[in-house]
Amino acid sequence: MKNFVISLTYANQRRDHISSIFEKQSIEFSFFDAVTPDTMEQVAKDLNVDITKTELAKSEIACLLSHAALWKKTIDENLSYIAIFEDDIHLGEEAIIFLTKSDWIPEGCSIIKLEAFYPKVGVESSFKSLPSKRKLSLLKTVHMGCGGYILSQQSARDLLCLLTNYEKLIPVDHIVFKDYMMTFPDHVYQMLPALCIQDHLLGQHVNFPSFLEQDRNIRKGEYEYQIKPKLNFIQKIQREGLRLSAQIIKLLREFVLMLKGKRLTKVKFK
């Protein structure tokens, strides 16, 4: 297993953090210099990706191309599997078991999501047992984030094929853990408990804020400094009604999953 961490060349604090957590468990890894807005045109050309048709911010396009360049590297270097991480992650217990070899990966697991991002996700009721009291469950609902995942060479080929056929580019995690998963519904697994988590999701003290998330919020018109309008009594009643409706929909969704032999499960980081 080869491990690559996408990181800007000048992100010294983040690189020190990554070096520390990987060295602590004696896991070999390599930094992969992240694509930047200044270099993305050439990378896009090399990957045969049209970056002119998109609503993504430049930082989001650069992030997507960084991941795609590693997918291509998997093919060019004839690697069976690689693990891809972003430079703000924390590793869980006994990660060395899973990040030094690939013989533990069951047949048919093309992509393994290693991180915890959503609190709960839908998975198959059955699972595959792994060392260190972990397991793999077939992912059945969207689970965003590309902070840490393992992919096979064939899935790298499929992802690049998917990428080059978009009329309008979308975020990388939407490609991997939504569109790819819908195209290959039996190939994407979630590791439970999760083996990694991004820093801004770990706790209240944030060492590495997600600049990509900030750019996404700006693109979608969501700003931290927006002032929430004051609600009158009727508006408050309507808001509570919407919350109740959302809870009912959530319960119905869980019931439907259960009828289909699936379940919602908590994604814990350990």
* Range picked from 101-115, 192-206, 218-232 for highest mean pLDDT: 101-115
Residues 143, 121 contacting (CB under 8 angstroms): yes
> Cβ atoms within 10 A of the Cβ of 97, count?
16
Task: Check residue 86 and give left, alpha or beta (phi > 0: left; psi -120 to 50: alpha).
Answer: beta
Provide the 8-state DSSP code for 253. Answer: H
pLDDT digits (tens, 9 = 90+) for 170-181: 999 999 999 999
Strand partners, 129: 135
Residues 73, 99 contacting (CB under 8 angstroms): no
Nearest to 2 by CA among 34, 23, 30: 30
Which pLDDT value is given to residue 224?
45
Which pLDDT value is given to residue 248?
62
Which pLDDT value is given to residue 225?
45
Which pLDDT value is given to residue 244?
63
Strand partners, 266: 120
Which pLDDT value is given to residue 212?
58
Residue ranges and CATH numbers for the domains of the chain are 2-214+262-266 (3.90.550)
Indicate the average pLDDT of the chain: 88
Range scoring the smallest mean pLDDT among 76-80, 86-90, 139-143, 226-230: 226-230
Res. 70: pLDDT tops 90: yes
Q: What are phi and psi of 207, to 5 degrees?
A: -85, -35
pLDDT digits (tens, 9 = 90+) for 224-256: 445 556 777 676 676 766 676 656 665 566 556
222 vs 51: which has the higher pLDDT: 51
Residues 267, 119: Cα–Cα separation, whole Å = 6
Residues 149, 83: Cα–Cα separation, whole Å = 6
Which pLDDT value is given to residue 203?
75
Strands (E), 186-249: 188-192, 196-198
Q: What are phi and psi of 87, to 5 degrees?
A: -85, 15
**pTM exceeds 0.85, yes or no:** no
Percentage of the chain beyond pLDDT 70 is: 81
Residues 198, 117 contacting (CB under 8 angstroms): yes
Which pLDDT value is given to residue 246?
59
H or E element in which residue 71 lies: helix 58-76
